[in-house]
Amino acid sequence: MYSSELLKGTLSTLILKLLDDNGRLYGYEITQRVKDLTQSRIQLTEGALYPALHKLEAEGLLATETEYIGKRVRKYYRLTDLGKQAASDKVAEFADFVRTVLGVLNPKPGPQLGFVTP
């Protein structure tokens, strides 16, 4: 688990990319996916996740469909066309940001950025 204010600014990117990869997901599922994909290193809190989802929906990047599993509600989210664009933009922006920061943190250029597999 991270001592992360690092997550700030990354959450929406994570959400958008996961939806881009998976078609549709509901909130709880997103927390589990992230947990699985990160070996529990990132555990999204619901207090961060749901407001973020609502915000993305309000911005027109996500659309929802509600389903019932028995009596239990599930709210699926999927990307709108705008959302698809945003997903790829934000992933690219994050990658670029990381490259930039690593350029400062890692000033000695081997091949380039230290992210080379051994």
Partner DNA sequence: TTATATGCCTAATTTGATTAGGTATTACAT
Partner DNA sequence: ATGTAATACCTAATCAAATTAGGCATATAA
Footprint (CB under 8 A) of a second copy, residues 74-93? 91, 93
Smallest separation, CB 101 to DNA (Å)? 12
- The token duo for 10 is 């990354």
Strands (E), the chain: 24-26, 62-69, 72-79
Q: What angle do CA 101, 94, 116 make, to 5 degrees?
A: 60
Smallest separation, CB 21 to a second copy (Å)? 6
Near DNA by CB under 7 A, which window of 63-71, 81-89, 97-105, 107-115?
63-71
Which of 68, 33, 110, 19 lies closest to 102 in space, CA to CA?
110
Q: Which residues pair with 72 in a beta bridge?
A: 69
Determine, following the binding rule CB under 8 A, whether residue 66 of this chain makes contact with a second copy. Answer: no
Four-residue CA torsion sign, 107, 110, 112, 116: negative
Stretch 3-32: interaction string toward DNA, x if CB under 7 A: -xx-xxxxxx-------------xxxx--x
Cβ proximity to DNA, 65 vs 81, nearer residue: 65
Binding site for DNA (CB under 7 A): 4-5, 7-12, 26-29, 32, 44-48, 50-55, 69-75
